[in-house]
Amino acid sequence: MRELGDLVVDLSARGDRAAAVYRALRDAMRSGRLEPGERLPPTRALAVDLGVSRTTVATAYDRLAAEGFLTARVGAGTFVADAARPVRAPRRGTDLAPRPGWDRRPQPTSGSAPAPTYDFRVGIPDPRLFPFDTWRRLVTAELRVGAHDLGVYADPAGHPPLRAAIARQLALSRGVTATPDEVLVTYGTQQALDLVSRVLVAPGDVVAVEEPGYPLARAVFESAGARVVPVRVDGAGLVVDELPTAARLVFTTPSHQFPTGPPLSLDRRRALLDFAGRHRCAVVEDDYDSEFRYTERPLETLHSMDDAGRVLYLGTFSKSLVPGLRVGYLVAPEPLQDALRAALQLSVGFVDVPHQAALARFLDDGLFARHLRKARAAYLQRRSLVLEAIHGPLGRHLELVPCQAGLHITTLLRDQSVDDTEVVGRAAEQGLVVEALSQYSGSGTPRGIVLGYGAAATESIRPGLARLAAVLDATPSTPPLRPR
């Protein structure tokens, strides 16, 4: 078997070698691997490459030219003719199919779509606040020759200085006590959840999640074959008394429940840790958006209250910096470290050392703290404008769910017979993107509107929410309320 570029010519069998070269070139043109106008090698060069006589190649060329596949230009060479343009045959069917459940997984989203005029998407920070010039200098310094040995695969658990910097940052800002060895660097929250599900969740295991809650967490556990059980949340967070006793794992967002907002009360935090101890289950604490608080200090993390090693703590820099950096972290007890590192090795194999080293410098040099101060001030102003509208023209239709943190505000429709997905659709026709609260719940209730203000330009908030008020005024109720 010999190759010409990406062409394969099988000369291993006995027989007419000119015919073999002819078939290989013809098939390449029919399939589109050789395109019209592409120049073929001279017969002498191709003969040397294939280890055959020049006459063999010339015979194949002559036959292809006679059939209209090739055209010769005096002094220029031999080219694929326009008539050789391939006709695509329909792809044949296959009996391959994903295993049950994957047909319901979330589809990948495209980040190339232009931002809407009035952008109230949830979970999107403002990239205009990120210090790109500073970041560029840090990355450039880490890419200089000799800065890192890029000829070897780095520790899949993450660049050691970054793990140490994250441990210091968490100790100072969240009271999470962890050694660098207990910190694993991940490609965002999703990979952290994937690692946890690989190591702790077997098909058929019961995993309890908040309802409403983070849809992608539910999807990760379902993809591992878990039996996901939704558990109600109220004004004090996850209703611990309703957790299934068979739970192998509980996923929660205790700092401010996603998407509704209230934190898990101190009594329920203690009850959850007691439940985990009695039923020998793990607790995954997603401390997303914990950097953005606007009033009182947050309650202690579950991780800091846990003295039994049952809490896995995860977070991300996607909201505090920019999503494109794709850096998150997972703090896990020592008995799980070897398994999680093995899962990381299978998942990514190695890490992007220069960018992780740059982030370590960004944290240790105080640049992260400086950025957060700037970002908090900007988001606080936007949050105030959203609250102003909710207490004003939107108040006829929307009821505020109190929350003192994060980059979004959740509201309930005062008339629960109004279809929040219809409101979202009508708003989109006005260039206004908001989200339906019902999409975060398997039952489709409660209904409400979730307003992100991370990506919203400050000057667009008042006119955008005025449009939302007009949309709500024109949206009819649809009794009776029906579960979806």
**Could you read off the pLDDT of 386-423 as tens digits, one per residue?**
999 999 999 999 999 988 888 999 999 999 999 999 99
**Least confident residue range of 65-69, 298-302, 311-315, 459-463:** 298-302
Q: How confident is the model at residue 98 (pLDDT cuts 50, 70, 90)?
A: confident
Kindly indicate the confidence band of residue 290, based on its pLDDT and cuts at 50, 70 and 90: confident
Average pLDDT of span 367-384: 94
Residue 248 has a pLDDT of: 96
327 vs 321, 334, 362, 484, CA distance in Å? 10, 22, 13, 35
Residue 67 located in a structural domain? yes
Least confident piece of the model among 98-112, 210-224, 227-241, 289-303: 98-112
Quick one: 72 and 165 in the same domain? no
Q: Are residues 210 and 348 in the same domain?
A: yes
- Contact between 388 and 398 (Cβ < 8 Å): no
| Assigned domain for 381 exists | no
| 41 and 155 fall within a common domain | no
Is residue 39's pLDDT more than 60?
yes
Antiparallel, parallel or unpaired: β 2-4 and 7-9: antiparallel
Q: State whether 33 and 181 are in the same domain.
A: no
Query: Does residue 313 share a domain with residue 219?
Result: yes
Q: Which CATH number covers residue 192?
A: 3.40.640.10
- Residue 120 located in a structural domain: no
Q: Are residues 242 and 356 in the same domain?
A: yes
Final residue in a domain of this structure, among 366, 381, 404: 366
pLDDT digits (tens, 9 = 90+) for 51-92: 889 999 999 999 999 999 999 888 889 999 987 776 665 566
Burial 47-79 (b: 16+ CB within 10 A, else e): beebebeeebbbbbbebbeeeebbbeeeeeebb
Average pLDDT over residues 33-39: 87
Residue 48 included in any domain: yes
Instruction: Report strand pairing: 247-252 vs 206-211.
Output: parallel
pLDDT band of 93, cuts 50, 70, 90: low
Q: Is the same domain home to 216 and 355? A: yes
pLDDT given at position 326: 85
User: How far is Cα 242 from Cα 395, in angstroms, rounded to an integer?
Assistant: 32
Quick one: DSSP state of residue 440?
A: G
| Residue 332's pLDDT band (cuts 50, 70, 90) | very high
As given in the structure block, the two tokens for residue 161 are 């200085």
**Higher pLDDT among residues 19 and 155, named by residue:** 19
User: Which of 366, 397, 426 is the endpoint of a domain?
Assistant: 366
Confidence of residue 325 (pLDDT cuts 50, 70, 90): confident
Answer whether residue 101 is part of any domain.
no
182 and 280, same domain (yes or no): yes
- Asked whether the CA dihedral 393, 398, 401, 406 is positive or negative, the reply is negative
Residue 472: which of 426, 409, 410 has the closest Cα?
426
Same domain, 162 and 247: yes
The answer to whether position 308 is within a domain reads yes
> What's the pLDDT score for residue 484?
46
Kindly report the backbone phi and psi dihedral angles of residue 264, in degrees, each rounded to the nearest multiple of 5, phi listed first. -70, 125
Confidence of residue 340 (pLDDT cuts 50, 70, 90): very high
Six-digit token string for 444: 């489709």
Question: Residues 251, 352: one domain?
Answer: yes
* Co-location of 55 and 166 in the same domain: no
- Residue 376, domain member (yes or no): no
User: What's the confidence (pLDDT) of residue 271?
Assistant: 97
Q: Residue 147: is its pLDDT beyond 50?
A: yes
Q: Is residue 380 part of a domain?
A: no
Residue 481: per-residue pLDDT: 47
Number of domains in the chain: 2
Among 313, 338, 366, give the residue marking a domain's end: 366
- Sign of CA pseudo-dihedral 22, 23, 24, 26: positive
CATH of the domain at 77: 1.10.10.10
Task: Provide the residue range defining the domain that includes 19.
Answer: 2-84
Q: Which three-class secondary structure state does DSSP give residue 137?
A: helix
Report pLDDT for 88. Answer: 61
Residue that wins the pLDDT comparison between 35 and 424: 424
Q: Are 77 and 156 members of one domain?
A: no
| Percent of the chain scoring above 70 in pLDDT | 89
Confidence of residue 148 (pLDDT cuts 50, 70, 90): low
